[in-house]
């Protein structure tokens, strides 16, 4: 099985080189060498001339342009983010939090869920890459790290009491994330407000024309 895969990979590399700019330029140089051979210019050293012109052509050929990475579709990205959000909520349902932290976390999850709600809201979100990135970071990194850090610190606090209560830090972290989520929703609301104002201006201008 390994031999088969390696052979397929080598064949693909050979085929890729045959189709490359370097090989095409080298072939052009080789053809020029053959012309010199036929006309008698190359003389008895024609093999060296052909090989040399092929190598020269391959060397001066421009490098192949690397393929650009595929750009993820906004709809697919939001679909994957919704799935991660669902898993996050399942995980959080098993975590024991203080009433204050739990209430703040519930409010934050409601804002995240509202922005991910399929429909026209998601359409507005998909048109704002910065908000999508911030929302993705909150769901995939910030919230899990906040809760995991709280759980770990609380475990150590039970062994060695003292210091700042871990729930206090968790509440501050969740408050900061909640404020960030409110700024996200405000940005999306402003986008819709600008769209409405633009349409109003268009209709009023059409009436006056």
Query: Which of the four pLDDT bands, split at 50, 70 and 90, describes residue 209?
Result: low
Q: Do 151 and 122 share a structural domain?
A: yes
Q: Do 103 and 126 share a structural domain?
A: yes
Q: Do 116 and 39 share a structural domain?
A: no
Q: Is residue 115 in some structural domain?
A: yes
Looking at 60, 89, 108, the residue that finishes a domain is: 60
Q: Which domain holds residue 37?
A: 2-60
pLDDT digits (tens, 9 = 90+) for 24-82: 666 776 676 667 676 766 566 667 666 776 677 666 666 666 655 655 566 788 889 99
Q: Is residue 69 in some structural domain?
A: no
Residue among 131, 124, 144 nearest 196 (CA): 124
Q: Is residue 66 in some structural domain?
A: no
**35, 95, 150, 155, 156 from 160: Cα distances, Å:** 88, 22, 15, 9, 6
Query: Which of the four pLDDT bands, split at 50, 70 and 90, describes residue 171?
Result: very high
Residues 6+ apart with CB under 8 A from 27: 54, 57
What is the number of domains present in the chain? 2
């Amino acid at each position: 099985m390994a031999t088969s895969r390696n052979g397929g990979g080598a064949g693909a590399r050979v085929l890729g080189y045959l189709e490359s700019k370097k090989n095409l330029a080298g072939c052009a140089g080789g053809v020029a060498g053959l012309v010199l051979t036929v006309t008698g210019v190359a003389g008895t050293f024609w093999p060296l001339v052909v090989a040399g012109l092929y190598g020269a052509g391959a060397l001066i050929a421009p490098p192949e342009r690397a393929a650009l990475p595929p750009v993820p579709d906004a709809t697919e990205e939001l679909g994957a983010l919704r799935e991660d959000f669902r898993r996050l909520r399942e995980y959080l349902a098993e975590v024991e939090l203080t009433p204050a932290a739990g209430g703040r976390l519930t409010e934050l999850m409601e804002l995240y869920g509202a922005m991910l709600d399929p429909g026209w809201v998601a359409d507005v979100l998909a048109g704002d890459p910065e908000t999508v990135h911030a929302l993705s970071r909150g769901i995939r990194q910030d919230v899990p790290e906040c809760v995991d850090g709280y759980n770990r610190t609380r475990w150590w606090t039970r062994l060695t009491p003292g210091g700042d209560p871990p729930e206090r830090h968790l509440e501050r972290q969740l408050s900061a994330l909640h404020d960030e989520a409110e700024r996200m929703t405000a940005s999306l609301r402003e986008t819709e407000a600008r769209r409405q104002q633009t349409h109003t201006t268009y209709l009023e201008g059409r009436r006056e024309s």
